[in-house]
Amino acid sequence: TIRCASALTPQLKSTLDTVIASNKIVLFMKGTKDFPQCGFSNTVVQILKSLNVPFETLNILENDMLRQGLKEYSSWPTFPQLYIDGEFFGGCDITVEAYKNGELQELLEKTMLS
Amino acid sequence: MGVTKENLEASLKAKLNPSHLEVVDTSGGCGASFVVEIVSEQFEGKRLLERHRMVNAALEEEMKEIHALSIKKTVTPEQWKQQQEANQSNAAA
């Protein structure tokens, strides 16, 4: 039988492990924080900016292997993907919901203090 | 071809047995785009991330062709009832 090769190679997985472990807040998105190229990515960037927290962004449009591999890594089919304190937090809808009910602020405060 | 609102509804009904389901086609020219609201007992005891994962899993096939999916609501029947009542009392106030 023919099987599709996984985009998540061991090298990519260990690179992602390192990126996520060494940055408290990482957003994998379409575009960059200064030039978001999709409304959903832009929404999350604006939320993070309004909360005044430092965050890294990685542009998945520049690297198709990263884009495909991340879907497997996070078990999440769409972008943006937000990681907080080494853990997958969610996509745009979850981030908006958590922002509205205050859970996001609480988690970010805790994360920045840790 | 492509994915239709009916495709999404059928998959969500089959896998999550919703008591209320609303799928809105919001495609605006750049591809299939949908907003989903779903009420299901299967969300009981699950966090929001897990609930969204369940919706994503139910639509695994469709996701390959969907440009954008916004999961607006994933609530239990009990939460849904409370929200409906809250909305009504707000409207009356």
Per-residue pLDDT for B43 more than 60?
A: yes
AA letter at A62? E
Assess contact for A104 and A51: CB atoms under 8 A.
yes
- pTM for the whole structure: 0.88
Between positions 26 and 45 of A, the ones with CB within 8 A of B are 40
Contact yes or no for B48 and A94 at CB 8 A: yes
Alpha-carbon distance of B15 to B33, in angstroms, equals 20
pLDDT class for A83, splitting at 50, 70, 90?
very high
Domain B5-92 has CATH 3.40.50.1980: no
Of the CA atoms within 13 Å of residue A96, those in its CB half-sphere come to 13
Residues A92-110 have pLDDT tens digits of 999 999 999 999 999 999 9
Residue B3: predicted pLDDT: 87
How close does chain B come to A90, measured CA to CA in Å?
Answer: 6
How close does chain A come to B92, measured CA to CA in Å?
Answer: 24
Residue B30: predicted pLDDT: 58
Residues A32-59 have pLDDT tens digits of 999 999 999 999 999 999 999 999 999 9
Query: For chain B, what are the domain ranges?
Result: 5-92
Residues B4-35 have pLDDT tens digits of 899 999 999 999 999 999 999 998 655 689 99
Select the residue of B48, B60, B68 nearest A40 (Cβ to Cβ): B68
* Of residues B12, B4, B3, B11, the one with CA closest to residue B74: B12
* Of residues B92, B62, B81, B82, the one with CA closest to residue B20: B81
A94 vs B: CB within 8 A: yes
Assess contact for A24 and A77: CB atoms under 8 A.
no
Cα Dmax for chain B: 47
Residues B54-65 as b/e (b if ≥16 CB within 10 A, e otherwise) read bbbebbeebbee
What is the ipTM score, two decimals?
Answer: 0.84
B24 vs A: CB within 8 A: no
Alpha-carbon distance of B53 to A75, in angstroms, equals 8
**What's the average model confidence in pLDDT over B36-49?**
96
Q: A98 to chain B: nearest residue by CA?
A: B48
Alpha-carbon distance of B72 to B37, in angstroms, equals 6
Query: In the structure encoding, which two tokens stand for residue B42, read together?
Result: 């299967």
Task: Give which of A37, A93, A103 to mutate to test B binding, by max B Cβ within 10 Å.
Answer: A93
**What's the average model confidence in pLDDT over B73-91?**
91
**A34 Cβ contact partners less than 8 Å away, ≥ 6 residues apart:** none
Residue B15, number of CB atoms within 10 A of its CB: 16
Between positions 66 and 85 of A, the ones with CB within 8 A of B are 75-78
Assess contact for A44 and A89: CB atoms under 8 A.
no
What are the C-alpha distances in Å from B61 to residues A105, B42, B58?
Answer: 34, 20, 8
Alpha-carbon distance of B8 to A79, in angstroms, equals 20
Q: Which residues in chain A have their CB less than 8 angstroms from residue B69's CB?
A: 78
Per-residue pLDDT for B67 more than 90?
A: no
Residue B88: predicted pLDDT: 86
Residues A23-35 have pLDDT tens digits of 999 999 999 999 9
Contact yes or no for B69 and A94 at CB 8 A: no
Residue B52: predicted pLDDT: 96
Contact yes or no for A89 and B49 at CB 8 A: yes
Alpha-carbon distance of B62 to A101, in angstroms, equals 30
Select the residue of B48, B63, B72 nearest A77 (Cβ to Cβ): B63
